[in-house]
Amino acid sequence: MAMVGVLTISAQNANDGYDMMMSIDLSSHEADVSSMLYGVFFEEINHAGEGGLYGELLGNRSFEDKQMPEGYRVEGDRIIPPVHTNYGTGKQSECNFPWPKAEIPDWILNIGGEAKATMHTTTNEPHFSTAPTTLKVRVEKTGKGVSLTNAGFWGMGIRLEAQASYRLRMILKTTSKKPLVISLEDADGKRIGSTSLKLKANGKWQDEVLTIKADDACSHARFVIEFPEAGNYDFDYVSLFPVDTYKQRENGMRRDVALMIDSLHPKFVRWPGGCVVEGITLNNRFEWKKTLGDPASRPGEYDSWGYRNSYGFGYKEFLDFCEDLGAKAMYVCNVGMACTGRTGEVCKEEEVETYIQDALDAIEYAIGDPTTVWGSVRCKAGHPQPYPLEYVEIGNENFGPIYERRYNQFYQAIKARYPQLTLISDYGLEGNHTAEHLDMVDPHWYVEPERFFRDAYLFDSFDRKKNKYEVYVGEYACNDGVGTGNMLAALSEAAFLTGIERNSDVVRMTSYAPLFERKGDRAWPVNLIWISNEQVVGRSSYYVQKMFANNVPDYNLKTDISIRPETEHEALTDYDGYISIEPRPADWQMAEDMKYGPGTIVEFKARGNEAYTFYWGKTKQNLEKALALNIGKKTGALSIDRVYWNNAYPYVSQPIDVPSDSTTHQYRLEILRDGIVCSIDGSEVWHYQTPLVNRRFAVAGFDKTRQEVIIKAVNASDEPCKMHVNITNGNVASIGQAIILKADSKQDENSYDRPFRIYPKEAELTGVSPSFDYPMAPNSVNILRLKSIGQD
């Protein structure tokens, strides 16, 4: 974060003109803030790894992409899993997922002029039995040229850099002699780097590693193998990586992407999911054992998010990555339950032991003694020391009596052998259920902004006596009604995090989700970091994460905050929602799911004895989270309510004399920024205004190493906030530091075109004293670091 300017603030005494006053007792020592509070969660979703973080540049490198999970079938471009009785719903769940149409995805055989050549895949002559598919290219006649190209991952996933080197590994066999010409081309076919591969020509598998240098930069490249001679060429594996991966690892991560995580200084990495842990069915759940060893031998798996995971970023790579980041590892295991949002399959009770053993083996691989079975596998893989695995999560988003029983079984078995591990359960905040022991629970929240603004205070009233467990908020994001994620989302997350930090005696860990979205695959609506061939873009939420994670105090300071009574009402039009009406009146002229904004007027005719529900602020996908206006005789009143899944919004009802006859009336609804005006037959019958909302949040703590007070303050209002800080029982230096993230509008966001539109800026604070004013900009997240200089 660059230092961009000097902000002078003036010391003053408190008076009545403040929007927010903080009184911080520097001699106090409230709850310790968990040093593990901020981590990351990686899941193979949105091509987060494949074509994203993981450095492989070629798609379908092992030719396994058309291998289906057992029991699945294909219809057109969809893959259909077998039907199971869903443990969540008790019903048979039918679902289908995308399936590539191309016979051999990502590979194209180019036949020039009179040339004759064919290609097909087979599993008849595997080089690795675990990854059995090979590609057979038959070149009968070279004519004007025969070549095989791969432009997978949207043009080889990254921008090739001039003078950069790329590591090619190819496993092939042939009896032809003339060396293959291997090159990198731009999208117009201009060669930007090449090498040649000598052939052993003995019909046996040869495993070659070569380096190709790019002469020019290229954002959309393709990889080309040219066949100068007729013959049979079998390929088992063709892989290309940048040599310059993160920490220079051979099967490593794309450097610029990994550095985005690195600069969050995450204290832990949760892996591998998420829904991929569970699988669509148990047959395609994530299986760590299949991710070990030579990447060329790994089968990969069609994953829960609709594409193949090559298993290149496997268990060992994850553990190495944790070490490279200086983070602890958190492994999430499957409990014999598939995702309830998909098929909800569960394994038979007698099979549970196998799943428990699999989890124990994973732990043994990471931290077991070299004399153990899996510890020795780790040693052979070049890592005799244990990895920093400290957390194991038992299942992901599983629930119900089956989960509760299995949780106890897993807990007992793992704790008995590894008492030092923290075991995490899927339970939310609702208590112990039937858990015999509960170290930590993992609630997940994907919500609309209002929920996080409100939940900034959620843990203040957490019953610490009753609930003895700690909390890990393993997945959370404001992702509803905020487009692809905007400053409003970031502000609400920052507000939520002030509450988390204040209550860090309870909430010990957090991780935003999902972490990555590769350009071209948005399986999930809002994601923290966007990756394209050329760019890695942090959304404003990313910078909130970075600011909070890089400024963690050791403990909280006693802080009294008074906020001027609010004057701001909840803004309905902050949400980029849609309006619709159900049922549709006969004369409804508007498009289905029309976008709205302040001043939108909806008019329609209806009979007095008809009833309608008018929705706004809804996203197309989330009807159950809409605001609803009930009109007409069915309800007997005009009423408004938000039908969140937790029904948290106040239900407001206005008994008015709604016409109950069968004549037709003219309804008019006008949407305001903070309310709605309803008129019937030209007379205003109800002016509803949304409740007043708090938009200012703060927390303060102390950093023992740097002897600094850290204040985190959020102003999620469109108005500036005059904050007064009063430090008691101590003194602070006159020069401090501010880090500020702000946007002109809540709807603003970073994008590929404007990646740094919202970016934290550092400023020097001058004129600091134990009693000073700090002007908080509208829509801003602020971190103030003030040097403690002892007693005043």
Could you list the residues that contact ligand AHR (CB under 6 A)?
43, 45, 273-275, 396-397, 444, 475, 513-514, 524
Where does residue 690 fall: left (phi above 0), alpha (psi -120 to 50 degrees), or beta otherwise? beta
As measured in angstroms, the least distance from the Cβ of 694 to ligand AHR is 28
Kindly write down the DSSP assignment for every residue of 643-683, as one continuous string.
Answer: --TT--SPPEEE------SSSEEEEEEEEETTEEEEEETTE
Q: If residue 417 lies in a helix (H) or strand (E), which one and from where to where?
A: helix 400-417
Query: Measured from the CB atom, is 275 or 781 closer to ligand AHR?
Result: 275
Sequence-distant (6+) residues with CB within 8 A of 652 are 639, 640, 641, 688
Report the DSSP beta bridge partners of residue 254: 245
Q: Which residue number is nearest to ligand AHR in terms of Cβ?
A: 274
Residue 34 or 396 having the CB closest to ligand AHR = 396
Q: How far is the CB of 418 from ligand AHR (least distance, A)?
A: 24
Return all residues near 666 (Cβ < 8 A) that are at least 6 apart: 603, 604, 605, 680, 681, 682
We find the least distance from the C-beta atom of residue 455 to ligand AHR, in angstroms, to be 18
- To 10 degrees, the CA torsion angle through 769, 773, 775, 780? 70
In one letter, which amino acid is 699? V
- Find the shortest distance in angstroms from Cβ 40 to ligand AHR: 12
476 or 614: CB nearest ligand AHR: 476
Which CB sits closer to ligand AHR, 397 or 470? 397
In angstroms, the CA 283 to CA 132 distance is 18
CB of 44 to ligand AHR, least distance (A): 9
Query: For ligand AHR, which is the closer residue by CB, 310 or 396?
Result: 396
- d(CA 274, CA 511) in angstroms, rounded, equals 12
CA 456/CA 384 separation, integer angstroms: 44
Find the shortest distance in angstroms from Cβ 566 to ligand AHR.
33
Strand partners for 419: none
Which CB sits closer to ligand AHR, 341 or 520? 341
Spatial distance between the Cα atoms of 511 and 552, rounded to a whole number of angstroms: 15
Least Cβ distance, residue 85 to ligand AHR (angstroms): 21
CA 671 – CA 597 distance, rounded (Å): 7
The smaller minimum CB distance to ligand AHR, of residues 283 and 297, is found at: 283
CB closer to ligand AHR out of 299 and 514: 514
Both structure tokens of 363: 């732990």
Q: Which amino acid is at 495?
A: A
Q: How far is the CB of 276 from ligand AHR (least distance, A)?
A: 7
Q: How far apart are CA 200 and CA 203, in angstroms?
A: 8
Task: Give the shortest CB-618-to-ligand AHR separation in angstroms.
Answer: 20
Nearest to 277, CA basis, from 287, 267, 268, 263: 287
Closer residue to ligand AHR (CB): 404 or 475: 475
- Provide, rounded to whole angstroms, the least separation between the CB of residue 426 and ligand AHR: 9
272: preceding bond cis by omega (within 30 degrees)? yes
Residues 585, 603: contact at Cβ < 8 Å?
A: no
Nearer to ligand AHR, 345 or 574 (CB): 345
Cβ 86 vs Cβ 339: under 8 Å:
no
Which tokens sit at 787? Answer: 């040097």
3-class state of residue 527 by DSSP: coil
Residue 454: CA atoms inside 13 Å, Cβ hemisphere, count?
Answer: 11
List of residues 6+ apart from 277 with CB closer than 8 A: 285, 286, 332, 333, 334, 395, 396
Output the smallest distance, CB 320 to ligand AHR, in A.
23
**What is the C-alpha separation between 465 and 463, in angstroms, rounded?**
6
Cβ-based neighbours of 106, under 8 Å, separated by 6 or more = 58, 59, 60, 65, 150, 151, 152
Q: Which is nearer to ligand AHR, 410 or 524 (CB)?
A: 524
Pairing outcome for strands 146-150 and 165-174 = unpaired
- Residue 757 CB, shortest distance to ligand AHR, in Å, is 25
Q: Which is nearer to ligand AHR, 42 or 233 (CB)?
A: 42
Closest distance of CB 395 from ligand AHR, Å: 10
Which one, 159 or 625, has the nearer CB to ligand AHR?
625
* Tokens representing residue 73 in the block: 């079938």
Closest separation in Å from C-beta 278 to ligand AHR: 8
Question: Residue 313 in contact with residue 531, Cβ under 8 Å?
Answer: no
User: Could you tell me if 579 and 616 are in contact, meaning their C-beta atoms sit under 8 angstroms apart?
Assistant: yes
Look at residue 24 and give its three-state secondary structure.
Answer: strand
583 with 777: CB under 8 angstroms? no
- Please report how close the Cβ of residue 547 comes to ligand AHR at its closest, in angstroms: 22
Q: Which is nearer to ligand AHR, 415 or 444 (CB)?
A: 444
- Smallest gap from Cβ 302 to ligand AHR, in A, equals 15
Give the residue with the Cβ less far from ligand AHR, 498 or 541.
541
User: What is the phi/psi pair of residue 499, to 5°?
Assistant: -70, -35
How do beta strands 516-518 and 529-531 pair?
parallel
**Which one, 301 or 475, has the nearer CB to ligand AHR?**
475
Q: What is the dihedral of CA 423, 428, 433, 437, to 10 degrees?
A: 20
